[in-house]
Structure 1
Amino acid sequence: METKTLNAKCLCQKVSVIATDVKAHVDSCHCSMCRKWSGGPLLALDCGTQVEFDGQQHISTFSSSDWAERGFCNNCGTHLFYRLKEANQYIMPAGLFDNLEDAEFTTQIFIDEKPRYYDFANQTKMMTGEEVFAVFNDEA
């Protein structure tokens, strides 16, 4: 799968990011935690493990589960990442990055938790929470 290097900054520009192994597609998570965290479905990129931050003192984290934590700028509140603790894998909001015109929307996860008040028109792969955890457990 093709990967690329992307740069980003939070709203106040106190935190900058260089992600060097980004998968070139956008996915969406409809789980209740992501919706609460982002105010809607989380549109995100799998940025892998090769992520560097400048302005680390401005990053706060919240352990949202036994397996993941969420990071944000403690000055402006910009959501920076969802990180799988064991794999050190960063899932980052697509809106953090400016140049994604060529990115394709490919997968929606936790589709069984998606509320009925919205739908995406894109044709994507759809996975329930059970299917996501089955894949996650197979990779562990």
Structure 2
Amino acid sequence: MQYLEGQCLCGAVKVTATAADEPKLRACNCVMCRRHNSAAFVTVEVDQDSIKIEGPVKVFRSSEWAQRAFCETCGSTLWYGLVHDGSRHLAAGLFDNAAGGTLVEEYFSDQCPQGYAFAGDHKRLTREETYALFAPGEGEAQ
């Protein structure tokens, strides 16, 4: 198990959590993630019960089933969360070297902008496959 310490851009929000010795990264190319981050949103898998966050956090309910959080001072993205279970998927950018993680999965891979793409051998799910996995019947709402 690995202990992670991270922070937002201005340092007002501090984040700690534990992760596997080889943390897994996941990237999302959906329209909301790209609008919120100006690119794909990359998360690091952590033990949900270990997450501790201190500082000025603002939470935005982005859809019926999801919320996004950011630092109220500098605007840094902190997490994407699911309303039904309270899970938080922490932004990999909060941690040095993205917590040393490896990209294992990419969502909405068919919506990845032409100007960039993730290299490597990882699972790539299309829009349809992503919705089937997380929100069957939800349509465009994320």
TM range, normalised to the smaller chain?
Answer: 0.7 to 0.9
Distance 1:29 1:127, change over 3 A: same
- Work out whether residues 47 and 90 of structure 1, in 8 Å CA contact, stay in contact via their aligned partners in 2: no
Aligned residues: 134
Name the structure where strand makes up a greater proportion of residues: 1
Offset at 1:45? 1.3
Match of 2:33 in 1: 34
**In structure 1, the residue corresponding to 2:115 is in which secondary structure?**
coil
| Map 1:1-140 → 2, pairs under 5 A | 4-21=2-19, 24-50=23-49, 51-55=51-55, 58-100=56-98, 102-136=100-134
Offset at 1:137? 5.3
Distance 2:37 2:120 in 1: 20
Distance 1:4 1:66, change over 3 A: farther
Distance 1:69 1:26 in 2: 19
Instruction: Pick which of 63-72 and 112-121 moved more.
Output: 112-121
Letter in 1 for 2:129: E
Distance 1:46 1:114 in 2: 21
- Work out whether residues 47 and 89 of structure 1, in 8 Å CA contact, stay in contact via their aligned partners in 2: no
**In structure 1, the residue corresponding to 2:85 is in which secondary structure?**
coil
- Work out whether residues 28 and 107 of structure 1, in 8 Å CA contact, stay in contact via their aligned partners in 2: yes
Instruction: Pick which of 27-36 and 96-105 moved more.
Output: 96-105
Distance 1:130 1:48, change over 3 A: farther
Q: Could you list the per-position Cα deviations for residues 84-131 of structure 1 after superposition, in whole angstroms to 9, with x for gaps in the alignment?
A: 111211112111101546421111111122122222221211001221
Query: Any gaps of 5 or more consecutive residues in structure 2?
Result: 137-142
Query: Any gaps of 5 or more consecutive residues in structure 1?
Result: none
**In structure 1, the residue corresponding to 2:96 is in which secondary structure?**
coil
Q: Which runs of at least 4 in structure 1 moved beyond 3 Å after TM superposition?
A: 99-102
**In structure 1, the residue corresponding to 2:36 is in which secondary structure?**
helix
